[in-house]
């Protein structure tokens, strides 16, 4: 049952390989100019990223090892010519033809095929892990780019606000209701904001180059400003999150299949102490006897043959078994360590997510609305000469 399941997974994988190849071939270069949402970027990266394509080919190459594992050794043909003919009663033997087919010991081909299938399934899961890693890189670069767009927008708004404050200070200075240093402070703040805005704009080529490298495009390719992402409220308990990770994480599933492969390798190591069986035929070409009246004169004999190799180097076979067992234990330990690492990382990321969600609510519902009120109130107070210009700048 387990073996049929492995074969089904590999068969589905082969179909996916073909479909993905057609999908990649159908991707049009013009699609790169129509990237807007993060889903567009993920789709384009999945079809064009060179690293993911390399992982895809690795999986495809590993799948091709399965029919090789199922195959028998090549038949062996040999030819012999009697330099000195062997005289027999029925005539001299002149040449012979041998053909031999070797069969591995019972269970060797099954273990070898299971090993190849498990490796193919592990390669498939590593491909899925590579795809998720790529998606994480795309999202990180996309949201950095989206953040930059928002930062430039806010910097422009701050610049316009400081220009407005400078105009207010000039008007008060012209009316002799404030001192000249207020105007100078506004101009200094204006210069600082202009420099910050310039730095933000100059950061755009660096971020677009990173995004283009992930998309397998030239670094200078144009990348339009992305859509502003919408914050979604998600609530999940740590225990449920950890269960989902342990159930679906492709790196863990790859290690599971690697453990299956190591079990099959251990079985193969044990089978090395059993002989291979060879079955063959030998045909001897015999000429007619020199004497007349000999019965069966010139009759060609056919010989059935059976051969066995002699597995006498037991120390090397035992060493191979110990090696396979050690590799199996090592892989199991790696799975435990990976589970521990994923659990710790999940705990940290869940904390960061919840902390960020809390800060978003704080700024959206309290800090930003109150800051706007404070700016308006501070400007009114400054015009009424109840606060100084530094207090007005602090409000901004």
Q: Binning pLDDT at 50, 70 and 90, where does residue 308 land?
A: very high
pLDDT of residue 21: 41
Section 257-261 average pLDDT? 97
pLDDT of residue 11: 45
- From 12, 7, 18, 9, select the one nearest 56 (Cα to Cα): 18
Whole-angstrom distance, CA of residue 42 vs CA of residue 40: 5
Section 201-217 average pLDDT? 93
**What integer best gives the mean pLDDT of the chain?**
86
Q: CA-based diameter of the chain, in Å?
A: 147
| 274 contact partners, CB below 8 Å, separation of at least 6 | 105, 108, 311
- What residues does 91 pair with on adjacent strands? 88
Q: What is the pLDDT of residues 266-281, one digit of tens each?
A: 999 999 999 999 999 9
Region of residue 278 (phi > 0: left; psi between -120 and 50: alpha; otherwise: beta): beta
Contacts 24+ apart (CB under 8 A), 186-191: 186/162, 186/389, 186/393, 189/162, 189/165, 189/393, 190/159, 190/162, 190/163, 190/166
Q: Are 103 and 72 in contact (CB under 8 A)?
A: yes
Give 378's Cβ-side CA count (13 Å radius): 17
- From 162, 185, 181, 174, select the one nearest 375 (Cα to Cα): 162
Q: Is the pTM of this model over 0.95?
A: no
Q: What is the pLDDT of residues 320-344, one digit of tens each?
A: 999 999 999 999 999 999 999 999 9
| 303 contact partners, CB below 8 Å, separation of at least 6 | 281, 282, 283, 284
Region of residue 107 (phi > 0: left; psi between -120 and 50: alpha; otherwise: beta): left
Section 305-312 average pLDDT? 94
- From 189, 198, 202, 200, select the one nearest 160 (Cα to Cα): 189
Give the helix/strand (H/E) hosting 272: none
Q: Are 339 and 251 in contact (CB under 8 A)?
A: no
pLDDT of residue 7: 47
Q: Binning pLDDT at 50, 70 and 90, where does residue 16 land?
A: very low
CA–CA distances in Å: residue 26 to residues 30, 135, 138, 322:
12, 21, 22, 50
């Amino acid at each position: 049952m387990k073996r049929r399941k492995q074969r089904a997974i590999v068969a589905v994988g082969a179909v996916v390989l073909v479909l993905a190849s057609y999908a990649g071939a159908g991707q049009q270069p013009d699609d790169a100019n129509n990237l807007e949402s993060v889903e567009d970027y993920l789709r384009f990266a999945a079809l064009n990223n060179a690293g993911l394509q390399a992982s895809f080919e690795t999986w495809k190459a590993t799948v091709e090892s399965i029919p090789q594992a199922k195959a028998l050794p090549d038949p062996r043909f040999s030819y012999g010519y009697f330099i000195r003919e062997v005289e027999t009663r029925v005539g001299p033997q002149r040449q012979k033809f041998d053909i031999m087919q070797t069969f591995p010991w019972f269970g060797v081909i099954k273990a070898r095929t299971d090993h190849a299938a498990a490796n193919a399934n592990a390669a498939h899961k590593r491909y899925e892990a590579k795809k998720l890693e790529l998606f994480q890189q795309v999202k990180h670069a996309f949201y950095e780019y989206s953040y930059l767009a928002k930062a430039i927008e806010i910097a422009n708004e701050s610049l316009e606000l400081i220009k407005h404050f400078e105009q207010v200070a000039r008007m008060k200075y012209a009316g002799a209701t404030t001192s000249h240093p207020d105007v100078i402070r506004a101009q200094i703040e204006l210069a600082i904001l202009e420099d910050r805005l310039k730095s933000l704009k100059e950061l755009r080529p660096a971020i677009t180059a990173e995004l283009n490298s992930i998309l397998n495009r030239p670094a200078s390719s144009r990348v339009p400003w992305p859509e502003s992402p919408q914050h979604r409220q998600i609530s999940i308990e740590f225990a449920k999150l950890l269960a989902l990770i342990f159930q679906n994480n492709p790196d863990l599933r790859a290690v599971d299949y690697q453990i299956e492969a190591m079990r099959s390798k251990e079985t193969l190591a044990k089978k090395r102490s059993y002989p291979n069986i060879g079955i063959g035929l030998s045909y001897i070409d015999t000429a007619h006897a020199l004497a007349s009246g000999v019965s069966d004169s010139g009759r060609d004999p056919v010989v059935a043959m059976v051969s066995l190799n002699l597995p006498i180097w037991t120390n090397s076979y035992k060493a191979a078994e110990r090696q396979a067992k050690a590799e199996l234990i090592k892989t199991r330990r790696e799975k435990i360590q990976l589970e521990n690492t994923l659990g710790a990382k999940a705990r940290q990321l869940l904390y960061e997510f919840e902390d960020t969600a809390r800060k978003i609510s704080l700024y959206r519902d309290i800090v930003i609305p109150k800051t706007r009120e404070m700016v308006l109130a501070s400007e009114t107070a400054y015009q009424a000469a109840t606060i100084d210009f530094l207090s007005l700048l602090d409000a901004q």
